[in-house]
Amino acid sequence: MDIQKAHERSARLRDEIWRLNKAYFIDNKEEASEDVRDALKQELIALEAEFPDVITPDSPTQRVGAPLDGRLPKIAHITPKESLSDAFSYAELEDWVDQMHRALGKTNTPFEFLTELKIDGLNVTLIYQHEKNGHYQLFRAITRGNGIEGEDVTHTVKTVQSIPLSFDLRRDNHPQYIEISGEIYMRKDSAKNFANARNAAAGSIRQLDPKIAASRKLQIFCYSLGKETTDALGIKTQVELMDFISSLGIPVNTEAKLLTNLKDVEAMYEELQKKRDRLPYDIDGVVIKINDKRLQRDLGSTAKAPRWARAYKFPAEQKTAQILDIQLQIGRTGAITPVALLSPTQLAGTTVTRATLHNADEIARQDIRIGDTVVVQKAGDIIPEVVRVITNLRPSESIPFHFPLHCPSCGEKLVRPEGEAVHRCLGTNCSAVRQEKIEHFVSRYAFNIEGFGKETIDELLSQKLVSDAADIFFLSHADLIDLPLFQEKKTQKILAAIDGVRQIPLDRFLYALGIRHIGRETAEILAKRIEWPKTDIAIETGGSSHTQVSLFDAGAKQQVIHGISMGDITDTLQSLDSDTLSEIDGIGSVVAQSLQDWISEEDNRALLHKFENAGVVALQPEGSHAPQVFTGLTFVVTGTLPSLPREDVKKMIKERGGKVSSSVSKKTNYVIAGDSPGSKFDTAKELGITILNEDGFKALMT
């Protein structure tokens, strides 16, 4: 920037800061958050430091007083960890309460809410093992990880002074394990040398050397017990749970409050927003939980989160940045996402240099241009996005941004399908799409092949060693050892990782294919609800870098597994019509059509055949063997059954193709009733719906 542009920019900044300050301090109108006003002033300060000649006596700056890296072992959780669904407004909380009332079938059910501070830290589960006579010893500490398994961080968690290494539990029964979850955090005064307290805490816990973690004064607040622990101890409320944890000498946050209505929850939320900066630790919202454990069990969970809890998040932090350029990002399905390259700005503890612009319509709606100063925030405190343009700071020479007509990678003409907001590249040989597809294929929830980072995939593509995901399974030692990114150790590690995933659960395989509209949950439904043929498949192992072992190879060994061949997957998908697929609960017409479109393409069928030649075999996921005897039937479960928990009954119904409703209507086929069934039982009798007891339900399954 030359001196003339510096004068122009500083003048615009002074005017805009004054306008926003006047609106806020004089007119009582907040046109921009304090973060935005401060960000503009910080830019002006930096500009004046670089060009002192632009400083003027009336500048706002002249006012007095102006302001696992994979090295840690993986351990399976006793209780799988769930995420919390977010709420960002009082209206969303009201919707949540309405949803719970509908799920319970009672609009007048009173709720007690336990509200807890949402500590911005690292989730860790402490597992204490019973030694003898009620004495428990800290056995293991595990990070949340992917919810199913996490990293073993026992060696560093033991350095947290507030975590007891043992305790005595005085009661009649002593479960083998006490499972307690909480948030490891770093106090603000301990994190002064770090850019972000949360990341500092997470990095400290994942250190290999426990002395480093010990030096960083980590703390913990605990707030949860595993299901087996809760059941074994007979805990009936969330308040009782917190009292139990505290009685063990384990820290809990004393800001938690038991409230009886949403208005009091909102008042607490607003109070915390005001005193957030004065707290000695970082928080990013309030966690709201139904206090009654019985109601928690009745409400259950979705595939990802409990229905009985919400994380009421604070508004996203906002800052300003300049758009240096607008580039197109290409996804695995060819979807084009415009991305703004930003001047670096600190946002929620991290340096942000990119933000999504969503699509061409969003760019046009906000008239976003290169050179604009924009307000950015993290959507859900995660993904940076552009909120609005500060047009008063727009350079005089700026021009509207015109969305490109052709793919920046392969040059093919971009297409915008009818009814969609995104443009797509449909080029069959687009290198960017190919790269994204393979990155998705090797990602954590797909094949999860260690060592396959972006640079490795780019190198393999550029050397023409792979052209699609199936080629990965034909890589040999000779292919890799001479590549710039490879040495003997990495070569051996990657080849071993590839061989270790040739047998993969069917749901992960379907997700890894990257079929449009088929995410992890949908892939799991398809794997469990479709009747896939299974057979004994002979697998050749050993003696070579992949499973295509020569009959003359002395190292060849044969293993027989009960799995699903790629040929059977192809035949099954081709045999299913849209109507049959759409009848599966959780699929619908859009997914059905997407699946049919994918298998109808010859290239995709050839890809499956290539996987077959590579020795890839799918394994049936747990719980998917049940016959689909409840297809087309709707059930309502009410009351307490003699031996089957209600959530288990619902799971059995869904595994057999049925639907579970929370309310009785004319569309209900069966009501399964136990003790104290309530109004649903009466409604079923009035409507003449078949009512089953537990034995009747079991008989219906056979």
Contacts of 654 (CB under 8 A, 6+ apart): 585, 660
State the angle between helix axes of 588-600 and 566-575 in degrees (0 to 180), rounded to the nearest 10. Answer: 120
Environment class of 76 (CB within 10 Å of its CB; exposed 0-12, middle 13-18, buried 19+)? exposed
Rounded to the nearest 5°, which phi and psi values hold at 561? -125, 155
**Pair of tokens at residue 652:** 């059995």
Phi, psi of 559 (to 5 degrees): -130, 135
- Extract the tokens encoding 318: 């906002």
Q: Which 8-state DSSP code applies to residue 413?
A: B
| CB 197 within 8 Å of CB 281 | yes
Q: Contact at 8 Å (CB) between 458 and 436?
A: no
Query: Hey, which residues does 385 pair with through a beta bridge?
Result: 356, 377
CA 443 to CA 153: how far, in whole Å? 23
Q: DSSP string spanning 587-619?
A: THHHHHHHHHHHHHSHHHHHHHHHHHHTT-EEE
Q: How far apart are CA 36 and CA 457, in angstroms?
A: 40
* E-only strand ranges, 382-495: 383-389, 423-424
Q: Look up residue 304 and give its two tokens.
A: 């990802």
Cα separation of the two ends of the chain: 78
Alpha helix stretches (DSSP H) within 186-250: 197-205, 210-214, 227-233, 238-247
- Own/partner contacts of 449-457, CB < 8 Å, gap of 24 or more, are 449/494, 449/497, 449/498, 449/501, 450/70, 450/493, 450/494, 450/497, 451/490, 451/493, 451/494, 451/497, 452/494, 452/497, 455/485, 456/485, 456/494
DSSP 111: -
C-beta atoms surrounding 570 within 10 Å: 19
132 is catalytic: no
CA 547 to chain centre: 34
Q: What are phi and psi of 240, to 5 degrees?
A: -60, -35
Question: In 160-298, at which residue ranges do the beta strands (DSSP E only) sit?
Answer: 166-168, 177-186, 218-225, 257-259, 283-290
Contact 323, 374 (CB under 8 A): yes
Helix (H, G, I), strand (E, B) or coil at 322: strand
Catalytic residue among 81, 118, 293, 654: 118
Closest CA relative to residue 188, chosen from 178, 197, 175: 197
* Token representation of residue 572: 């099954």
The DSSP symbol for 148 reads S
Give yes or no for a contact between 55 and 61, defined as CB atoms under 8 angstroms apart: yes
Question: What distance in Å separates the CA atoms of residue 362 and residue 154, rounded to the nearest whole number?
Answer: 47
Beta-strand (E) ranges in 530-688? Answer: 535-541, 557-563, 617-619, 634-638, 659-660, 670-673
State the catalytic residues: 118
